[in-house]
Homo-oligomer: A and B are copies of this chain.
Amino acid sequence: MSIIVNDQKLLRFVQEVFQSFGISAEKAFICADNLVLADLRGIPSHGVARLKRYVDGMVNGTILPYAEPVVVREALSTATIDGQAGLGQVIAHFATRMAIAKAKQNGVGVVTVRNSNHYGIAGYYSQMMLEEGLLGLSMTNSAPLVVPTFGVEMIIGTNPISLTAPARRNRPFFLDMATSVVPRGKLEVYERLEKPMPEGWAVDAGGRVTTSAAEVLRNMISRSGGGILPLGGEGELFSGYKGYGMAVLVDILCGVLSGGAYGDMVDSKGPSGENQPAQVAHFFMAINIENFVEMEVFQDKMDDLIDRLKASARAEDASRIFIHGEKEYELYEKHKKEGVPLQEKVYDTLKSIGAQRGVDFGL
């Protein structure tokens, strides 16, 4: 059962929850806008369902809501930021604005961030760059849930990559993907439905492909071995080492280049389950298209590339070829008009967060 809520009301409620920690309306808006955008775009796993996680983080001190990001190195086109364990969305928003300013002035802006927290959907920041007419790239490392090829230890994150590029007639290209086969949320869906997972999503404690979502999730919690597979799946037959390589690429650009944390260090739980700063690291790059080619030419070529892909011949049982972001734009428009569907459990959790934080629920 889903409960449909108005996105603006939802945004206001979530913003007030963040504001109840004493931060500015502007910062609270960034955090709330990021979560609600995920729901609007049809990615509820990264939406307001995660509000509790941020609230808990601020309550238990792994997220420091008053921390201000510090610029530790800076040049015309580059910067490194220390997030000081603050709110991931606020830090990432700050870093993205820097990347945008640098790209507009110098053609390209590259900003890495260490000591941050979970920043929500990667696409929130690439969209900020898109809205400024730039090519936008956003990456983050994340809590270790993925095993390397031939491994059984969750030592890398689902480390997503988002790239946005403007078109003219068509909607922008909007890629926002984890470098693992699936996110953890997909396993949870199969567990709830008690359905066997497809062979190739995850491995058990021995490193064998398993169809039992319940077993994998149990092992993930107890850290007894096994986890989600990188894009390309198990072993080398379908090139799982490529997904593994993309995940390490993200970790190098985020965690290593920023002088921060990487791999299994990125975790809000310590080895004995104690709370600790998650030390999430990000990477942002904005590219000023006009530095390379006239914007009109770029947009025309984007339209043509998109047209060619969409008009190309389809498999016999396929009704449509999609461009990345297309489904999400359609859901966004639908949810803007008809409201955002929230699972009953999520709705109830929001309500109790409202009571806990003294914020009027009103949804």
A185 to chain B, nearest CB (A): 13
On whether the beta carbons of A313 and B153 are closer than 8 Å, the reply is yes
- A293 in the interface (beta carbon within 8 A): yes
Q: Give the contact stretch, choosing among A36-44, A188-196, A295-303, A333-341.
A: A295-303
Would you list which residues of chain A between 293 and 341 have a CB under 8 Å from chain B?
293-294, 297-298, 301-302, 305, 308-309, 312-318, 320-324
B contact residues around A301 at 8 Å (CB): 255-256, 259, 262
Would you list which residues of chain A between 54 and 84 have a CB under 8 Å from chain B?
73, 75-78, 80
On whether the beta carbons of B324 and A245 are closer than 8 Å, the reply is yes
On whether the beta carbons of B78 and A256 are closer than 8 Å, the reply is no
On whether the beta carbons of B293 and A80 are closer than 8 Å, the reply is yes
Would you list which residues of chain A between 129 and 175 have a CB under 8 Å from chain B?
135, 148-153, 155-156, 161, 163, 165, 173, 175
Q: A165-B256, A292-B112, A301-B259 are in contact. Are A155 and B309 (CB under 8 A)?
A: yes
A173 to chain B, nearest CB (A): 6
On whether the beta carbons of A182 and B239 are closer than 8 Å, the reply is yes
On whether the beta carbons of B237 and A73 are closer than 8 Å, the reply is no
CA distance A309 to B179 in the complex (A): 17
- A241 in the interface (beta carbon within 8 A): yes
A240 to chain B, nearest CB (A): 9
- A128 in the interface (beta carbon within 8 A): no
Q: Give the contact stretch, choosing among A27-35, A102-110, A347-355.
A: A102-110
A348 to chain B, nearest CB (A): 31
On whether the beta carbons of A177 and B242 are closer than 8 Å, the reply is yes
On whether the beta carbons of B203 and A315 are closer than 8 Å, the reply is yes
Binding site for B on A (CB under 8 A): 73, 75-78, 80, 106-108, 110, 112, 135, 148-153, 155-156, 161, 163, 165, 173, 175, 177-179, 181-182, 198, 200-201, 203, 206-208, 225, 231-233, 237-239, 241-246, 248-249, 251-253, 255-259, 262-264, 287-289, 291-294, 297-298, 301-302, 305, 308-309, 312-318, 320-324
- What are 18 residue pairs bridging A and B, where the CB atoms are less than 8 Å apart in the complex? A75-B291, A76-B77, A76-B107, A77-B108, A78-B107, A78-B108, A135-B252, A135-B253, A150-B314, A150-B315, A156-B309, A161-B246, A165-B252, A179-B242, A201-B238, A206-B316, A248-B305, A248-B324
